[in-house]
Amino acid sequence: MRRYDDGMAFVPPPASVTVDLVALTVHQGGLAALLVRRGEAPYRGRHALPGGFVRQREDLDQAAGRELAEETGLAVDGVYVEQLASYGHPRRDPRGRVVTVAYLALVPGAPAVRGGGDAARADWVDLDTDAAIPSGLAFDHARILSDGVGRARAKLEYTPLATVLCLPEFTVAELRLVYESMWGVALDPRNFHRKVTRAEGFLEATGRTTGRNGGRPAQLYRRGTARLLMPPMLRPDPS
Amino acid sequence: MRRYDDGMAFVPPPASVTVDLVALTVHQGGLAALLVRRGEAPYRGRHALPGGFVRQREDLDQAAGRELAEETGLAVDGVYVEQLASYGHPRRDPRGRVVTVAYLALVPGAPAVRGGGDAARADWVDLDTDAAIPSGLAFDHARILSDGVGRARAKLEYTPLATVLCLPEFTVAELRLVYESMWGVALDPRNFHRKVTRAEGFLEATGRTTGRNGGRPAQLYRRGTARLLMPPMLRPDPS
DNA sequence: CCAAAAGTGTTTCAATTACACCCATGA
DNA sequence: TCATGGGTGTAATTGAAACACTTTTGG
């Protein structure tokens, strides 16, 4: 931090800035999060969110994309990334004052991941039972993960975000599975079908069908052009 | 940043962290934001959001509350504050690498404010016409202000947040004015009344009335106990 | 033909809209 | 008693939930 005005230059307290990622996917009918094993101190050997220090000439969003690629080997395109929140408790990191900017990443299809950088290894970890977030996460990462899952669940209600958890072409049943996995509820297939196919700009028909499974082949769809904020979305009873 | 493990200690890039506040209120039937005149370089004399450096032993939320009090003289209790987003473009601040964590504050009643700290003066500035955000704001504060207004508008749709823009006791008409000011639309007074008084936990009757104006005295209400996430909220046609 | 999954039609019910109407006060 | 804003009743419309039923495939 260089001086700016006069001899009385105020020196701001030094800090470091990291990014951490809550990367979620739908995996065998359940929600899963991407966790790494830390290869370095502190918290060496513990589960943690992928992430790391922001570089000198890097924007926060860039840093998030870079860390995702470095520590997990995922290609950034095809992954939806948005900023989640920042965490800055003075003693959240034993190395000193570290403020982290957390990102939420939604990854279609649970692709294979590999470790890299600070991460000894990276894996998709199931979050089946509601509060079954792996205990013993490094730093305040349990809290961040929990916030990320909450944000993702909430946003499915009023945005067309569920489509980013599907591969580029998908069936209505696959899309329904995303909602059911994220919320842990069963949705009526008939009503769900009508709702998503009627919603303007939500889905775009490809004309093709798929026929792998036992029954009638399903239509294949692409993500529609509608971007965020699409209020009349679906949601089970608030019970 | 002290060393942690061995002689190879990685030195993270130094940075500073600030908090900035988008403080909004409803003022004479319109939305207004709190802006300061900067008393120090850089951008001395320009409009800016209130804010400043986070101290060494301070959590981010604490820093936001402290800056709000210091630069504007507002008491923090009675003001709703939530984290908005973080901004970290490498050259967003000419003094060096400064990442800012922005907060959204909703202030009832447009109370008088005064400058203090880095702020030469502080004032409520009307945001009448949609994009009439004062040009020439310091740093990237125009963008941050715009994001804050967007967040506040969106959240009225699906949370009972509008009540925090009213004084502790308020009438249904005053609450309606908040929605109308924030969205720039007219709402049907009759239907609005039913909706908010029926909604479970939204309002709490005090039993008292007010009779200052020309017509029938209105019931006075307090904020109900319902906290965030209350989906069936009100919203004009998506036109 | 049967099982299985996709997709449609129809009834029922609840929420929202539009608007006529009544209530309580000050001048 | 009139103007003014507060508050209620009610019919028409819309959207969601429940579920019977038809369609299209593989064995």
Please indicate whether, in this complex, the C-beta atoms of A13 and B154 are within 8 angstroms of each other: no
User: Given this model, what pLDDT does residue B59 score?
Assistant: 97
Q: Which amino acid is at A121?
A: R
User: Given this model, what pLDDT does residue A122 score?
Assistant: 92
pLDDT in tens, A170-193: 999 999 999 999 998 999 999 999
Cα(A60)–Cα(A110) distance, integer angstroms:
25
Which has the minimum average pLDDT: A82-86, A89-93, A233-237, B129-133?
A233-237
* Confidence check: pLDDT of B4 > 70: no
User: Given this model, what pLDDT does residue B108 score?
Assistant: 93
Span CA (A63) to C1' (C10), Å: 54
Banded pLDDT at B138 (limits 50, 70, 90): very high
Q: Say if strands A47-48 and A30-38 run parallel, antiparallel, or are unpaired.
A: antiparallel
Banded pLDDT at B65 (limits 50, 70, 90): very high
| CA–centroid distance for A83 within its chain | 10
Please indicate whether, in this complex, the C-beta atoms of A2 and B59 are within 8 angstroms of each other: no
Banded pLDDT at A133 (limits 50, 70, 90): low
Size of interface A-B (CB pairs under 8 A): 109
A189 φ/ψ angles, rounded to the nearest 5 degrees: -60, -35
Q: Is A94 on the interface with B (CB under 8 A)?
A: yes
Span CA (A68) to C1' (C6), Å: 37
| Average pLDDT score over residue span B219-227 | 87
Span CA (B176) to C1' (D7), Å: 14
- Cα of B209 to nearest chain A Cα, Å: 34
User: Given this model, what pLDDT does residue A147 score?
Assistant: 95
Mutate to test the interface with A, among B95, B151, B156, B157 (most CBs of A within 10 A): B95
* A165-B229-A102-A153 Cα dihedral, nearest 10 degrees: -20
Banded pLDDT at A99 (limits 50, 70, 90): very high
Please indicate whether, in this complex, the C-beta atoms of A1 and B40 are within 8 angstroms of each other: no
pLDDT in tens, B73-119: 888 888 999 999 999 999 999 999 999 999 999 999 888 888 777 77
* Confidence check: pLDDT of A101 > 90: yes
- Cα of B98 to nearest chain A Cα, Å: 9
User: Given this model, what pLDDT does residue B133 score?
Assistant: 65
Determine if strand D comes within 7 Å of the CB of A211: yes
Print the SS3 string covering chain A: CCCCCCCCCCCCCCEEEEEEEEEEEEECCEEEEEEEEECCCCCCCCEECCEEECCCCCCHHHHHHHHHHHHHCCCCCCCEEEEEEEECCCCCCCCCCEEEEEEEEECCCCCCCCCECCEEEEEEEECCCCCCCCCCCCCCHHHHHHHHHHHHHHHHHHCCHHHHHCCCCECHHHHHHHHHHHHCCCCCHHHHHHHHHHCCCCEEEEEEEECCCCCCCEEEEEECCCCCCCCCCCCCCCC
Stretch 121-150 of chain B: residues touching chain A, C-beta under 8 Å: none
Banded pLDDT at A150 (limits 50, 70, 90): very high
Cα(B212)–Cα(B51) distance, integer angstroms:
38
| Average pLDDT score over residue span B12-16 | 91
B chain contacts of residue A238, beta-carbon cutoff 8 Å: 231
Please indicate whether, in this complex, the C-beta atoms of B101 and A95 are within 8 angstroms of each other: no
Banded pLDDT at A115 (limits 50, 70, 90): confident
pLDDT in tens, B152-193: 998 888 888 999 999 999 999 999 999 999 988 899 999 999
Within residues 6-45 of protein chain A, the ones with CB less than 7 A from nucleic strand D are none
Banded pLDDT at A238 (limits 50, 70, 90): very low
- Cα of B211 to nearest chain A Cα, Å: 38
Span CA (A162) to C1' (D25), Å: 28
Q: Model pTM?
A: 0.90
- Tell me whether the omega of the peptide bond preceding residue A42 falls within 30 degrees of 0, making it cis: yes
Q: Is B228 on the interface with A (CB under 8 A)?
A: no
Cα(A82)–Cα(B104) distance, integer angstroms:
18
CA neighbours within 13 Å on the CB side: how many for A176?
18
* Confidence check: pLDDT of B71 > 60: yes
**Strand C bases within 7 angstroms of protein beta carbons:** 3-9, 15-21, 23-26
* Confidence check: pLDDT of A20 > 80: yes
| Residue in A58, A96, A158 nearest the CB of B1 | A96
* Confidence check: pLDDT of B39 > 80: yes
pLDDT in tens, A178-232: 999 999 899 999 999 999 999 888 999 999 998 767 788 999 999 988 764 333 3
Span CA (A50) to C1' (D21), Å: 50
User: Given this model, what pLDDT does residue B188 score?
Assistant: 94
| Residue in B56, B57, B83 nearest the CB of A86 | B83
Q: Is A5 on the interface with B (CB under 8 A)?
A: yes
* Confidence check: pLDDT of A239 > 60: no
Span CA (B215) to C1' (C22), Å: 14
- Cα of B165 to nearest chain A Cα, Å: 23
Residue nearest to nucleotide D8 (CA to C1'): B190
User: Given this model, what pLDDT does residue A214 score?
Assistant: 77
Which has the minimum average pLDDT: A37-51, A78-92, B52-66?
A37-51
| Average pLDDT score over residue span B191-203 | 91
Check residue B16 and report its DSSP letter.
Answer: E
Stretch 46-75 of chain A: residues touching chain B, C-beta under 8 Å: 53-60
